[in-house]
Structure 1
């Protein structure tokens, strides 16, 4: 049985894909093997959009799609505080 690539449509974009053959199905930028977590982590680590574009050969729209994906994922989750000590 063949598993098809799943494209994630976000705000009219299909820049994020989930393909079991790429990074064990982690969300990546379409046309690359760059995981969404790498883009978001790079920004959190202080890299600029321009640095990420050069380092991973991505467009500004790719970076924004990764941020939208992460934002929507967090927005869909439910979070509960951990008990304090």
Structure 2
């Protein structure tokens, strides 16, 4: 479950969701992946992040989408 790996604390990164035990945010992981980083590159660059924690990022996002914690996009004209 993602709850084993993802947490939020108002005292850390203004409450952004982070990987437990780190200051690595879910947002940063997504930015790195969107920029073309591979899982291997992330794990090598952030040794406190595990492969299971990376998977938890996607489980967390899936749950957010299911609960509609996303920004609706306007319909194209």
Q: TM-score normalised to the size of structure 2? A: 0.81
Question: Any idea what SS the aligned residue of 1:47 has?
Answer: coil
User: Which deviations, in whole Å up to 9, do the C-alpha atoms of 1:31-83 show, x marking residues without a partner?
Assistant: 10000011122112211111010112211001111111112212221765525
- Tell me the equivalent position of 2:19: 29
1:74 corresponds, among 59, 65, 70, to 65
Distance 1:29 1:81 in 2: 28
In the alignment, structure 1 residue 39 sits paired with structure 2 residue 29: yes
CA distance in 1, matches of 2:72, 2:17: 25
- TM-score, length-normalised on structure 1? 0.74
Alignment size in residue pairs: 75
Structure 2: runs of 5+ lacking an equivalent? none
Higher gyration radius (CA): 1
Partners of 2:5 and 2:19 within 8 A in 1: yes
Question: Could you list the runs of 5+ residues in structure 1 that have no partner in the other structure?
Answer: 1-10
Higher share in helix: 2
Larger relative contact order, structure 1 or 2 (CA cutoff 8 Å, min sep 6) = 2
